């Protein structure tokens, strides 16, 4: 069965500092991987996605993520955090084949706080 | 282009009542999925519909049902509401089952 683990519940970084949010997944084959961001009381916004090919993917708002098959990880990074990045971040895995395609499994999220 | 829209925005219901939530996908998207997000948790998959047929169902009781209409909009119905059904209900649309999903703003359901 698919699963996603986001080990960090809450992270605080200073504005301008670099950021890395961790995500580990469990899936029998190469999965589809996603990062979403959610502001309080809002829906989820897609930051970036990985389906295949280049393991370093670029997303919106200056975010990038790297797929590492050997570590079953898909960590999200940003070189310089802005105060507006404060939000909750969710990693999700989707099946690349079979009957459960389209059924996204989400981690529990990492809440990012940014201090001035 | 308009994104995914959901209605209503907020809803307060009493235990035992029934609720219907509505979702309109992005134009051209044929797949709609529903998720439940309890406070402090990640979204949990409820249903996926593609081309008006149910293509996936999560671990939810039969009190939860959904359908997709010819224009690809969708309804989520929940019968016999329980306090534990209080959550943010999210709708997501995608071009097809394998593509990335785009989420609407959600419907906040409170059951008292």
Per-residue pLDDT, averaged over A32-53, amounts to 93
pLDDT digits (tens, 9 = 90+) for A54-75: 999 999 999 999 999 999 999 9
Q: How many angstroms separate the CA of residue B15 from the nearest CA in chain A?
A: 23
Which of B31, B99, B100 has the highest number of chain A CBs within 10 A, making it the mutation to test binding with A?
B100
Q: How far apart are CA A20 and CA A102, in angstroms?
A: 27
Question: Residue A99's pLDDT band (boundaries 50, 70, 90)?
Answer: low
Q: Looking at residue A74, what is its pLDDT? A: 97
CA-wise closest residue to A74 among A35, A44, A47: A35
CB atoms within 10 A of CB A72: 15
Nearest CB to B103: which of A43, A99, A103?
A43
Cβ-defined contact of A104 to B101 (cutoff 8 Å): yes
Nearest CB to B45: which of A34, A45, A104?
A104
Q: Helix, strand or coil for residue B109?
A: strand
Mark the ranges of chain B whose per-residue pLDDT is less than 70. Answer: 1
**CA count, 13 A, side-chain hemisphere, B91:** 34
What number of C-beta contacts closer than 8 Å exist between A and B?
67
Q: How far apart are CA A33 and CA A88, in angstroms?
A: 17
CA A92 to chain centre: 7
In DSSP terms, B6 is beta-bridged to: B23
Spatial contact of A27 and A35, defined as CB atoms under 8 Å apart: no
Residues of A in contact with B25 (CB under 8 A): none
């Amino acid at each position: 069965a698919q699963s996603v683990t986001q080990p960090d519940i809450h992270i605080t970084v200073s504005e301008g500092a670099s950021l890395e949010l961790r995500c580990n997944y469990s899936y029998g084959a190469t999965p589809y991987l996603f990062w979403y961001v959610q502001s309080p009381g809002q829906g989820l916004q897609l930051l970036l996605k990985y389906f295949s090919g280049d393991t370093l993917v670029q997303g919106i708002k200056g975010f990038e993520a790297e797929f590492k098959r050997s570590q079953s990880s898909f960590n999200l990074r940003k070189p310089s955090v802005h105060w507006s990045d404060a939000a909750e971040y969710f990693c999700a895995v989707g099946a690349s084949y079979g009957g459960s395609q389209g059924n996204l499994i989400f981690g529990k999220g990492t809440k990012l706080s940014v201090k001035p | 282009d308009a994104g995914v829209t959901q209605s209503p925005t907020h809803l307060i219901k009493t235990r035992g009542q029934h609720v219907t939530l509505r979702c309109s996908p992005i134009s051209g998207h044929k797949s709609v999925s529903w998720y439940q997000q309890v406070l402090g948790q990640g979204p949990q998959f409820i249903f996926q519909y593609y081309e008006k047929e149910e293509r996936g169902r999560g671990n939810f009781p039969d009190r939860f049902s959904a359908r997709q209409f010819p224009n690809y909009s969708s309804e989520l119905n929940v019968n016999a509401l329980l306090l534990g059904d209080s959550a943010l209900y999210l709708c997501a649309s995608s071009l097809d089952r394998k593509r990335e999903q785009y989420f609407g703003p959600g419907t906040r359901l409170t059951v008292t």
